[in-house]
Amino acid sequence: MMDVTIPTEYGPIVLPFEQAVAMAHCLEKLRAAGKTPTWHRNACGCCVSVHELADHAHEGYVVGADGGVDWIVLASEGEQP
């Protein structure tokens, strides 16, 4: 399996290729909906969350190490963009 290294202000983050591609797709989907996206690695260490910066994690995508994507709503109801 190939990995992708993403430079960040906190140091490089290494993601599996499938996860990096799925994360990029989610970022682009939010941008296309007119939102300003951000992402971070979750506490579990294997998943990343992609969400609108202004909404800060109330709803967004969770991308697993295998590239699987789920839409989640934590604190407010919303529709998938």
pLDDT of 2-55, one tens digit each? Answer: 999 999 998 999 999 999 999 999 999 999 999 999 999 999 999 999 999 875
Res. 81: pLDDT tops 80 = no
Give the closest residue to 48 by CA, choosing from 65, 34, 73, 36.
65
pLDDT band at 57 (very low <50, low <70, confident <90, very high): low
pTM more than 0.95: no
Query: Which of the two residues, 50 and 57, has the higher pLDDT score?
Result: 50
**pLDDT score recorded for residue 38:** 92
For residue 77, the number of C-alpha atoms closer than 13 Å in the C-beta half-sphere is 0
Range list of β-strands (E), the chain? 3-6, 13-16, 37-41, 48-52, 59-63, 69-73
